[in-house]
Amino acid sequence: EDKVVQSPLSLVVHEGDTVTLNCSYEVTNFRSLLWYKQEKKAPTFLFMLTSSGIEKKSGRLSSILDKKELFSILNITATQTGDSAVYLCAVAISGGSNYKLTFGKGTLLTVNP
């Protein structure tokens, strides 16, 4: 069974701190890994990673994938209260008609002022 595990499950930091969120996976026929941010309702897309070692960056957020060790990290530098959210990691699998994302349970990040 395909599995995506995120750690930690929750994290509380102060504004200005740097955080690292982890996502490991065990899936057959990996195709891509995606990160989403979920505040109140709809998850919003952050990054899609398909190749090992290539960092994706958007402002204070960055992410990298290691396909050999089967994990990804999401870094947030100089955190702000607006970064408080659940961060979701998902894996897409290739092969046949497999068009679905398998999600981890998420990491709840709380940034205190």
Partner 1 sequence: KAGVTQTPRYLIKTRGQQVTLSCSPISGHRSVSWYQQTPGQGLQFLFEYFSETQRNKGNFPGRFSGRQFSNSRSEMNVSTLELGDSALYLCASSSGLAPSTDTQYFGPGTRLTVL
Binding interface with partner 1 (CB under 8 A): 31-32, 34, 36, 41-45, 48, 50, 88, 90, 92, 97-106
Q: How far is the CB of 59 from partner 1 (least distance, A)?
A: 19
Three-class SS state of 83 = helix
Identify which of residues 17 and 48 has a Cβ nearer to partner 1 in the complex.
48
- Distance of alpha carbon 21 from its chain centroid, rounded? 7
Identify which of residues 64 and 92 has a Cβ nearer to partner 1 in the complex.
92
- The beta-strand segments (E) located in 27-80 are 30-38, 44-49, 56-58, 61-66, 71-76
